């Protein structure tokens, strides 16, 4: 008599954990946070009840589309992810979720998010958010990332969109203030990711991705990180220069940005994987701190 070996059933909670992991929650949290800052700064004073409703629906809609883009990214890059220690745990890389499951999950999230943004905010916000999805999930992931070491620089435009989406959700247009916030994130993105790529260079080399440390070497990348942080310092002063914020923001932004410059300078002078890792972590603190300072300055000063 033959017997059939049945794999252990995956519990519903474990399955949902796998789907949740596809959304790259920590990345999406930062995206939503920056979008929320864009919404807050778009309103001169404290939001009205109607504006709070728009903010709530827009936050959920942007979260859904950003999560959909992350899931699609995991699907497209599953073979690359499986070769890298940093990403080998992802459910698509391990085969815990099929291509069909990941695609349906991403499509449903994207559709729900777009409907919510159209209905809860405005068509412009929906269109910009969908364009951001295409820019990240297709233009960056499929085209740029395996093609050029400037993938992070060009593809960073998609990652810099959250405050623009937030601003559009409350105003129905894209103002110069939104573009200032866009510029900060756009310039922040390369040194942030290159710091990660420095201490993960063997992962990227094994995966066959032309990240800057792989194609141009460690020293070249460190120099560019340092140069970008000084440009970023100037960009972070722009909200004060154009009248978006006041002196408290200027002090906070200068402090965070000079801290990032100090890490980049130390990394350029004397490299170590540990210092590159600390630089990467501080870059997250920098962006969160600068945008939090914008929020605090907007309401308290």
Q: How many domains does the chain have?
A: 2
Q: What is the mean pLDDT of residues 118-147?
A: 93
Asked whether residue 129 falls in the same domain as residue 211, the answer is: no
Q: Which of 130, 151, 173 is the last residue of a domain?
A: 173
Q: Residue 64 domain-assigned?
A: yes
* Nearest Cα to Cα of residue 121 among 82, 164, 177, 90: 164
- Dist. CA 134–CA 51, nearest whole Å: 28
Asked whether residue 83 falls in the same domain as residue 205, the answer is: no
Asked whether residue 277 falls in the same domain as residue 297, the answer is: yes
Q: What is the per-residue pLDDT across 30-60, written as a single tens digit (0 to 9) for each?
A: 999 999 999 999 999 899 999 999 999 999 9
Q: Which of 173, 199, 232 is the last residue of a domain?
A: 173
Q: Which pLDDT score, from 0 to 100, does residue 99 have? A: 94
Q: Residue 1 domain-assigned?
A: no
Look-up of token digits 């310039």: 187
What letter does residue 245 receive in the DSSP assignment? S
Give first-to-last CA distance, the chain, whole Å. Answer: 80
| Counts for the chain of helices (H) and strands (E), in that order | 15, 0
Q: Which pLDDT score, from 0 to 100, does residue 13 have? A: 57
Asked whether residue 17 falls in the same domain as residue 160, the answer is: yes
Residue 52 in tokens: 């709070």
Q: Residue 263 domain-assigned?
A: yes
What letter does residue 137 receive in the DSSP assignment? I
Q: Which pLDDT score, from 0 to 100, does residue 7 have? A: 40
- Dist. CA 265–CA 163, nearest whole Å: 29
- Dist. CA 120–CA 103, nearest whole Å: 25
pLDDT at 4 over 50: no
Asked whether residue 153 falls in the same domain as residue 246, the answer is: no
Q: What is the per-residue pLDDT across 243-260, written as a single tens digit (0 to 9) for each?
A: 999 999 999 999 999 999
Asked whether residue 34 falls in the same domain as residue 81, the answer is: yes
Q: Residue 125 domain-assigned?
A: yes
Asked whether residue 100 falls in the same domain as residue 19, the answer is: yes
- Dist. CA 19–CA 74, nearest whole Å: 11
Three-state DSSP class for residue 48: coil
pLDDT at 297 over 70: yes
| Residue-number span of the structural domain to which 246 is assigned | 175-301
Q: What is the per-residue pLDDT across 74-105, written as a single tens digit (0 to 9) for each?
A: 999 999 888 888 888 899 999 999 999 999 99
- Flag whether the pTM goes above 0.75: yes
Q: Which pLDDT score, from 0 to 100, does residue 2 have? A: 34
Asked whether residue 233 falls in the same domain as residue 157, the answer is: no
Q: What is the per-residue pLDDT across 140-166, written as a single tens digit (0 to 9) for each?
A: 888 888 888 888 898 889 999 999 999
Asked whether residue 187 falls in the same domain as residue 263, the answer is: yes
Q: Residue 134 domain-assigned?
A: yes
Q: Is the dihedral of CA 258, 235, 187, 71 positive or negative?
A: positive
Look-up of token digits 């109607």: 50
66: domain CATH number is 1.10.357.140
Residue 221 in tokens: 């990348």
Asked whether residue 214 falls in the same domain as residue 247, the answer is: yes
Q: Residue 2 domain-assigned?
A: no
Q: Which pLDDT score, from 0 to 100, does residue 12 have? A: 54
Asked whether residue 145 falls in the same domain as residue 167, the answer is: yes
Q: Which of 155, 173, 191 is the last residue of a domain?
A: 173
- Dist. CA 130–CA 179, nearest whole Å: 18
Residue 139 in tokens: 């233009």
């Amino acid at each position: 008599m033959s017997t059939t070996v049945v794999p252990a059933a995956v519990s519903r909670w474990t399955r949902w954990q796998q789907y949740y992991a596809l959304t790259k929650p920590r990345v999406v949290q930062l995206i939503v946070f920056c979008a929320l800052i864009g919404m807050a700064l778009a309103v001169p004073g404290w939001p009205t009840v109607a504006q709070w409703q728009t903010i709530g629906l827009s936050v959920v809609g942007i979260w859904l589309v950003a999560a959909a883009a992350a899931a699609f990214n995991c699907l497209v890059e599953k073979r690359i992810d499986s070769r890298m220690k940093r990403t080998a745990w992802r459910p698509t890389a391990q085969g815990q979720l099929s291509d069909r499951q990941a695609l349906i999950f991403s499509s449903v999230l994207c559709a729900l998010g777009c409907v919510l943004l159209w209905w809860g905010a405005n068509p412009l916000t929906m269109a910009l958010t969908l364009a951001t999805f295409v820019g990240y999930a297709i233009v960056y992931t499929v085209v740029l990332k395996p093609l050029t070491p400037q993938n992070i620089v060009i593809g960073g435009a998609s990652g810099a969109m959250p405050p623009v989406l937030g601003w559009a959700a409350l105003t129905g247009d894209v103002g110069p203030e939104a573009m200032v916030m866009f510029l900060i994130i756009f310039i922040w993105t390369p040194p942030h990711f290159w710091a990660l790529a420095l201490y993960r260079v063997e992962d990227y080399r094994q995966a066959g991705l032309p990240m800057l440390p792989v194609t141009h070497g460690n020293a070249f990348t460190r120099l560019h990180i340092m140069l970008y942080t000084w440009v970023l310092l100037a960009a972070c002063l722009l909200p004060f220069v154009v009248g978006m914020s006041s002196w408290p923001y200027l002090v906070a932004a200068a402090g965070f940005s000079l801290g990032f410059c100090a890490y980049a300078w130390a990394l350029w002078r004397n490299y170590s994987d540990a210092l590159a890792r600390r630089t990467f972590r501080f870059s997250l603190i920098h962006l969160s701190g600068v945008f939090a300072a914008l929020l605090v300055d907007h309401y308290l000063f």
